Amino acid sequence: MAGEKVNRISLTEKDYQGAPTTMCRGCGHDAISASVIRAFFESSVDPRKVIKLSGIGCSSKTPAYFISQSFGFNAVHGRMSAVATGANLANHTLISIGVSGDGDTAAIGLGNFCHMMRRNVNITYIVENNGVYGLTKGQFSATADKGSVMKGGKVNDMPAIDLAELAIVMGATYVARSFSGDRKQLAPLIQGALAHKGSAILDVISPCVTFNNHEGSTKSLKYVKEHLDPIHDVDFIPPYENIEVDYEEGTDQDVELHDGSRIILHKLERL
């Protein structure tokens, strides 16, 4: 479409879209997918060099809903981190993005998740954290806060696993927490994660509008919005090489900038 914004590799944001989503209307996961699309577009990542990995659960379905030109791998429950490790070993030139949920990462796959960070596997790993097992209809997950209430009224009496804290302890080299609804913050965080070499862990609170959006839940849309306290204005500045020029007085120099634009410099002669 004429006039549509293109990135450095001449793709539009639409080129990063995937299949139509099958999430519930208003699901935080869809908002995260939109941020992923934005980030990959902004960072001008070639979709053909990307691999999208996930485990099992609602969140793990989402890689089908962004960047359909990339290879995808929907692994066994909890094992995405290990599959990603193998894929990275096989071809380290691929850009890996992993999407997982709190059941996938904080419970069944906790051990593999820790060891992936220990090995500092080069991956952007997003946990779409809603504190609940959505695909099995509403059980508490290991990130549900102590005292939070299940849809039927059951109170969680177990302490939550804080995945960002765990990632720091395990030595992950890029750790962030964000909110699915805050694209202005999340998209640059994902861009930063993509630029980072090593395990980049993003713990993204992503309210489940169907099973965990009620009074008493600490991961409902309302609760999260009320307690949202952005501590930084996040932006991403790509770490480009410094452009240097050296030319004669009185001559012109054509310089191509990182975004593809060009400037022509003219050096004045000394009088």
Query: In the complex with other proteins, which residue's Cβ is closer, 96 or 130?
Result: 96
Task: Kindly state the smallest distance separating residue 237's Cβ from other proteins, in Å.
Answer: 29
Query: In the complex with other proteins, which residue's Cβ is closer, 89 or 158?
Result: 89
Residue 166's identity, in one-letter code, is L
Residue 60 contacts residue 134 (beta carbons within 8 Å)? no
155: DSSP letter? B
Q: Which two tokens stand for residue 168?
A: 């720091």
Task: Kindly state the smallest distance separating residue 208's Cβ from other proteins, in Å.
Answer: 20
Task: Kindly state the smallest distance separating residue 18's Cβ from other proteins, in Å.
Answer: 9
Residues engaged in binding other proteins (CB under 8 A): 19, 47-49, 51, 53, 63-64, 68-76, 79, 82-91, 93-94, 111-112, 114-115, 119
Distance, CA of 249 to CA of 204 (rounded, Å)? 54
Which distant-in-sequence residues (6+ apart) come within 8 Å of 66 by Cβ? 16, 17, 18, 33, 36, 37, 40, 52
Distance, CA of 49 to CA of 96 (rounded, Å)? 9
Using DSSP, state whether 200 is helix, strand or coil: strand
Task: Kindly state the smallest distance separating residue 16's Cβ from other proteins, in Å.
Answer: 13
Burial class (CB in 10 A: 0-12, 13-18, 19+), 111: exposed
Task: Kindly state the smallest distance separating residue 72's Cβ from other proteins, in Å.
Answer: 4
Query: In the complex with other proteins, which residue's Cβ is closer, 85 or 220?
Result: 85
Query: In the complex with other proteins, which residue's Cβ is closer, 49 or 154?
Result: 49
Query: In the complex with other proteins, which residue's Cβ is closer, 90 or 237?
Result: 90
